[in-house]
Amino acid sequence: MTVKAFAPAKVNLTLHVTGQRADGYHMLDSLVVFADVGDRIEVAEAPDLALTVTGPRAAGVPKGAENLVLRAARLLDPDRGAHITLEKHLPAEAGIGGGSSDAAATIRALSQLWGISLNAPATALGADVPVCLTAKPMRMQGIGDLLSPAPPLPPLWIVLSNPGVSLPTPLVFRALASKSNPAMRPQSGASVLGWLADQRNDLQEPAIGLAPEIGTCLDAISAQKGAVLSRMSGSGATCFGLFESADDAAAAAAAIQGRHPGWWTVSAPLLK
């Protein structure tokens, strides 16, 4: 028996850092959505736990116990075996939750294969794992453990572009000058897109300070026809643009890829 699961790219349309606890964990307020592009997980029955990594982004992915996929399997059940294949399409350390989404997809697939549910806190694997388990638009607060439904979004398409820079999340948080910033303002009156434009990613400025290529990427996206919002996702370095037309998004991705062939650039619809 085999079970397959999709691990979509996670995108922080907003990311407000609202505080830091005594134990070092940062408090967040973020609107999270998922794009119809990502990695793929397949699990099969096996006597021991093993991981195979394939796909165009397989190079450099750790295959040992530190991999979040294997950690997710052991969190679900510390003793059972399975052969897990991770088909890697998303860049690593890119601010789009690749590892967290992979872990969440592994939990979904193994839960079906093994016939069990997760009984441990998913935040043990990282702040993004609980929201990735839903794979639906969510407002994420606390340390990633407080989830509530996102405001209704219109049909949107997204362009994701990464200028080939890997940014470790702890490095970006250390560069953030203020750890206590205002939470997202309630939506009132304005359209969702207008409200989104008034929100922030508090990690964007420190990330650009560490990797100026992010600013170049944002400029490239915002210059495209039909781009209604451009911002960095997560701790970077992937940036996104929102579009109300699939054709505009595809044309924007093609234009950016043509001018910057070394960047990772895709267009996709947002998942509902």
Q: What total number of domains does the chain contain? A: 2
Q: With contact defined as beta carbons under 8 Å apart, do 265 and 257 qualify?
A: yes
Q: What does the block give as tokens for 57? A: 């982004």
Predicted confidence (pLDDT) per residue in 42-66, tens digit: 999 999 999 999 999 999 999 999 9
Q: Are residues 156 and 138 in the same domain?
A: no
CATH number at residue 196: 3.30.70.890
Predicted confidence (pLDDT) per residue in 150-171, tens digit: 988 999 999 999 999 988 999 9
Rounded Cα distance, 146 and 148, in Å:
7
Q: Are residues 156 and 92 in the same domain?
A: no
Q: What is the DSSP letter of 187?
A: P
Q: Are residues 11 and 138 in the same domain?
A: yes
Rounded Cα distance, 249 and 221, in Å:
10
Rounded to two decimals, what is the model's pTM?
0.95
Q: With contact defined as beta carbons under 8 Å apart, do 36 and 155 qualify?
A: no
- What are the two backbone dihedrals, phi and then psi, of residue 155, each rounded to the nearest 5 degrees? -60, 125
Please, what sign has the CA dihedral across residues 185, 36, 234, 247?
negative
Out of 39, 102, 128, 202, the active site residue is 128
Whether the bond between 120 and the residue before it is cis, its omega within 30 degrees of 0, is no
Is 10 annotated in the active site?
A: yes
Q: With contact defined as beta carbons under 8 Å apart, do 246 and 157 qualify?
A: yes
CATH number at residue 137: 3.30.230.10
Q: How high is the pLDDT of residue 189?
A: 67
Phi-psi region of 127 (alpha: psi -120 to 50; beta: other; left: phi over 0): alpha
Predicted confidence (pLDDT) per residue in 127-155, tens digit: 999 999 999 999 999 999 999 999 889 99
Weakly modelled stretches of the chain, pLDDT under 50: none
In a domain, 28, yes or no: yes
Q: Are residues 165 and 137 in the same domain?
A: no
Q: Are residues 77 and 180 in the same domain?
A: no
- Residue 257: give the domain boundaries: 152-269
Q: How high is the pLDDT of residue 222?
A: 98
First vs last Cα of the chain: how many Å apart? 29
Q: Which residue has the tokens 């679900």?
A: 76
The CA radius of gyration of the chain, in Å to the nearest whole number, is 18
- Relative orientation angle of helices 98-114 and 68-76, to the nearest 10 degrees: 30
Q: Are residues 71 and 177 in the same domain?
A: no
Q: Are residues 72 and 160 in the same domain?
A: no
Q: Are residues 11 and 116 in the same domain?
A: yes
Out of 10, 88, 102, 202, the active site residue is 10
Which residues are CB-contacts of 263 (< 8 A; sequence separation ≥ 6)? 161, 162, 163, 164, 217, 256, 257
Q: What stretch of H or E contains 9?
A: strand 2-12
Side chain identity, residue 201: N
Give me the torsion for CA of 200, 202, 206, 212, rounded to 10°: -20
